[in-house]
């Protein structure tokens, strides 16, 4: 086994990073409070993951972005903020209540014109977007884990050379190296990591940011 060169994080180091690089955001705090009040699970990405998504979109000058798994719009706001002024985020969500809350917060964030929420099972919607020959600069996958391999394949059909695909929960709370047993979600994440790491159509690294983000570039 190789010796790790990275420095392990603790709460003090984590807060040092957040204090310096991820400023407090009152609107996002309100979104989280509202999500909790509505008894919608608080399963949004972490603040530094959000900043990472914004930065990547800015770096690649993303104009067209696609998200699978809107929840109440926390990650969507980060993505939309990173897009070019004429950019647009299409985000897919199964639950109407989640989508409605996201819509409300996209509007509050001044991102109404830059966002388009589709309420649908993601796989059906992705197949429709493929039929419509849509192509995206940036794709974020953060919905039901068992469908990750399918979402990745559809995402590739919606990509061009240079498209960036990011997937969340790829460390699965530190459990990704464990025997999955009958944990279908963990099995799916392990399978997705295997597929991504071997795929000759793309180049990927699993980054230990939050619960693990895979950063994939389509070749
Ligand atoms: C982890 S949350 C997304 C968090 C969000 N990306 C954020 O960071 O703010 C996953 C979301 O995917 C949605 N979802 C689950 N299965 C889905 C499906 N088959 N199609 C579309 N959305 C689905 C859930 O309702 C939930 O809102």
CA of 9 to the centre of ligand 1 (A): 28
Quick one: which of 142, 136, 100 has its CA closest to 118? 100
Burial class (CB in 10 A: 0-12, 13-18, 19+), 167: buried
| Average pLDDT of the chain to the nearest whole number | 98
Quick one: which of 93, 79, 153, 99 has its CA closest to 122? 93
For ligand 1, atom 14, the nearest C-alpha belongs to 143
Residue 123 reports pLDDT greater than 90: yes
Ligand 1 touching residue 122 (CB < 6 A): yes
Ligand 1 touching residue 192 (CB < 6 A): no
CATH superfamily of the 11-218 domain = Vaccinia Virus protein VP39 (3.40.50.150)
Residues 6+ away with beta carbon under 8 Å from 128: none
Which atom of ligand 1 is nearest the CA belonging to 143?
12
- Whole-model pTM above 0.85? yes
Contact 91, 100 (CB under 8 A): no
For ligand 1, atom 27, the nearest C-alpha belongs to 71
Q: Cα–Cα distance between 91 and 53 in angstroms, integer?
A: 14
The 10s digit of each residue's pLDDT in 189-216 is 999 999 999 999 999 999 999 999 999 9
For ligand 1, atom 26, the nearest C-alpha belongs to 71
Chain center to CA of 99? 16
Domain boundaries, the chain: 11-218
The 10s digit of each residue's pLDDT in 138-170 is 999 999 999 999 999 999 999 999 999 999 999
Candidates 144, 147, 167: which one to mutate for ligand 1, based on the most atoms within 8 Å of Cβ? 144
Indicate the pLDDT class of residue 58, thresholds 50, 70 and 90.
very high
**What percent of the chain is predicted at pLDDT more than 90?**
98
Q: Cα–Cα distance between 138 and 155 in angstroms, integer?
A: 10
Within 13 Å and on the Cβ side, how many CA atoms surround 190? 14
Ligand 1 touching residue 50 (CB < 6 A): no
Which atom of ligand 1 is nearest the CA belonging to 40?
27
Residue 51 reports pLDDT greater than 90: yes
What angle in degrees, to the nearest 10, is found between the helix axes of 184-198 and 148-157? 40
Indicate the pLDDT class of residue 103, thresholds 50, 70 and 90.
very high
CA of 6 to the centre of ligand 1 (A): 31
């Amino acid at each position: 086994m190789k010796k790790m060169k990275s420095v392990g994080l603790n709460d003090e180091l984590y807060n040092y990073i957040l204090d310096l690089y991820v400023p407090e955001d009152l609107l996002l705090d309100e979104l989280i409070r509202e999500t909790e009040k509505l008894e919608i699970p608080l399963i949004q990405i972490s603040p530094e993951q959000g900043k990472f998504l914004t930065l990547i979109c800015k770096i690649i000058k993303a104009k067209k972005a696609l998200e699978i798994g809107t929840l109440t719009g926390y990650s969507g706001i980060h993505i939309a903020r990173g897009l070019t002024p004429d950019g647009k985020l299409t985000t897919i969500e199964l639950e109407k209540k989640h989508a409605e809350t996201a819509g409300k917060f996209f509007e509050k964030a001044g991102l109404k014109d830059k966002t388009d929420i589709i309420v649908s099972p993601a796989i059906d919607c992705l197949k429709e977007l493929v039929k419509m020959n849509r192509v995206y600069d940036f794709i974020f996958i953060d919905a039901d884990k068992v469908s990750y391999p399918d979402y990745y394949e559809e995402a590739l059909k919606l990509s061009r050379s240079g498209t960036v695909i990011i997937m969340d929960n790829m460390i699965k709370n530190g459990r990704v190296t464990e025997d999955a047993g009958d944990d279908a979600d963990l099995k799916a994440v392990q399978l997705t990591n295997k597929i991504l790491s071997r795929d000759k159509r793309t180049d990927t690294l699993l980054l230990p940011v939050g619960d693990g983000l895979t950063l994939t570039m389509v070749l």
